[in-house]
Amino acid sequence: MSERSGPLADDPFGGRHPTSHERLWGRPWDASYHDGPPPWDTGRPQPAIVRLASAGGFTGAVLDSGCGTGENALHVASLGLSVLGIDVAETALAIARAKADDRGVKVEFAAADALQLERLGRRFETVLDCGLFHTFDGDERPRYAASLASVTEHDGTLYVWCFSDDGPDTGPHPISQEELRAAFTLSTGWNVSRLEAGRLDDDGAPAWFATIKRI
């Protein structure tokens, strides 16, 4: 969990190394949430995640990695599961906590770096990544896969929703099938058990919906 007191309190990156996305953009992720909802924040859970949850895709303790303002985490928690949403954007987390209070949903939101999840000291049966993986560059992806592996129970499930390079009108940071598979290999403790092509928000940019088992 991040420390927000002392000399790091004035550091917009909270003492962590800025991600490749932040270095490119020149601002911390938190700034995306300063002037109203960012483009990906539709104010409702992803339809595909709602369907997955209805089909029993979430079990045990659940981690939402890069939860933003928490719509997906809130939906899964509203079904009675124990959910922790983590993000580096404190503004997004504050909005997520306010929604949980308003809706009376029991869910936990915490500031944490997805590249250092082992610092949580916790393990999860189901892990969700909706829109975070594709923001990491080729150098960060192996670190992210290892970080996710450190908190996922053996035989647990990781769901990754990311932009794909498959087709016209691709989103930012499109990922090829090969890049996705290369990040989650048997040698790194993962097995991609299912990879479906679809669209974010059902009619948005092309996306991969990956189901990845922790071995």
Ligand X SMILES: C[S@@+](CC[C@H](N)C(=O)[O-])C[C@H]1O[C@@H](n2cnc3c(N)ncnc32)[C@H](O)[C@@H]1O
Question: Which residue from 62, 74, 88, 148 is in contact with ligand X, where contact means CB under 6 A?
Answer: 88
Closest to ligand X by CB, 63 vs 186, is 63
Check residue 113 for interaction with ligand X (CB under 6 A): yes
Minimum distance, C-beta of residue 49 to ligand X, in the bound complex (Å): 8
Burial class (CB in 10 A: 0-12, 13-18, 19+), 56: exposed
Check residue 66 for interaction with ligand X (CB under 6 A): yes
Helices (H), 108-207: 140-151, 177-183
Question: Which residue from 115, 127, 148, 158 is in contact with ligand X, where contact means CB under 6 A?
Answer: 115
Tokens of 112: 């944490």
Angstrom distance (rounded) from CA 179 to CA 188: 14
Check residue 68 for interaction with ligand X (CB under 6 A): yes
Is the CB of residue 140 less than 8 Å from the CB of residue 148? no
Minimum distance, C-beta of residue 153 to ligand X, in the bound complex (Å): 20
Is the CB of residue 120 less than 8 Å from the CB of residue 93? no
Closest to ligand X by CB, 107 vs 132, is 132
Question: Which residue from 84, 99, 100, 135 is in contact with ligand X, where contact means CB under 6 A?
Answer: 135
